[in-house]
Amino acid sequence: MEIPLRKGRRSGLGKIVETDPATAFFADYNEDLLQQNEELKAKVDALEASKAETEERLCSTQGAHLYTDLSL
């Protein structure tokens, strides 16, 4: 399942947020969220790769057991 991300920002809002001390926190917070999102996507990719490897090993192991059971 892939969650679509909003890539674009409305023009002009970033400059206001960055220059206004009352809202500067939100610019930093937004950047932190974007960084965390990238880190989580990398973790998901690693977990999916690990899952695929595990499933492949399980299938090959189960196939080997079926083959030995049939030869008895």
Kindly list the domain boundaries of the chain, sorted by start residue: 29-71
pLDDT at site 48? 96
Task: Please name the residues in contact with 17: beta carbons below 8 A apart, sequence gap of 6 or more.
Answer: 23, 24, 26, 27, 30
pLDDT digits (tens), the chain, 72 positions: 555 555 555 555 555 555 667 767 777 888 899 999 999 999 999 999 999 999 999 888 876 665 555 555
| Residue 12 region by backbone torsions, left for phi larger than 0, else alpha for psi between -120 and 50, else beta | left
Q: What is the pLDDT of residue 34?
A: 92
d(CA 60, CA 69): 14
